[in-house]
Amino acid sequence: MNDNLIWVIIGMGLVTYIPRMLPLVMFHTNNLHPRVQGILKNVPFAILGALIFPGVLTINPDSVLYGVIGAAAAFIAAWLNLNVIIVVLASILVLYGYTFL
C-alpha cells in the first residue's frame, strides 16, 4: 500500500480535522440551554480526569509504582502552586532519579 500511503495520510488528516473544526465554526450556540452550556463548561475538568487515569499508571508497563511516584511528584508540585513547566520538569527529574535507585 506504499504507493497510496500519502493519500491515506491525507484521508486521516481530513477525518481528524473535521471534528476539530465543525462545532467551533458551524454550530450556532448563542442561545444554548444553560444546562448544555454548563455541561460544556464541565468538559475540560472531566476530560482531565479521564486523560490522567488510567494512563498515568501504565507509563512503565513493568511497574505501576513508577507511574504512581511520577503522579505523586506532580501532585505535590502542583499543590504548591508551582508553574506548570516546573511541575513537568520536577516530575521528570524525580522519576529520572528513581530509575537510578
Partner 1 sequence: MLPSPAISSEPTHGLWKKGIQAGLPIAIGYMPVAFTFGLLAKAAGLSLFETVGMSIIVFAGASQYIALSMVAAASGAAELILTTFIMNIRHLLMSASLKERAEDEPKWIKAIYAFFITDETFSVAATSQEKKITASYLLGLGLAAYSSWVVFSGAGYLMGSGLPESLQASMGIALYAMFIALLVPAAKKSRKVIALAGTAAVLNSLFSFIPFLSGGWGIILSTLIAAVSIEFFVKGDERNE
C-alpha distances in angstroms, 80 versus 34, 83, 99, 101?
34, 9, 25, 26
CA–CA separation, 9 vs 67, rounded Å? 33
Among 19, 31, 33, 101, binds partner 1 (CB under 8 A): 19
**27 lies in the binding site for partner 1 (CB under 8 A):** yes
| Cell numbers for 43 | 468538559
Shortest distance, position 64 Cβ to partner 1, whole Å: 12
**65 lies in the binding site for partner 1 (CB under 8 A):** no
Shortest distance, position 20 Cβ to partner 1, whole Å: 4
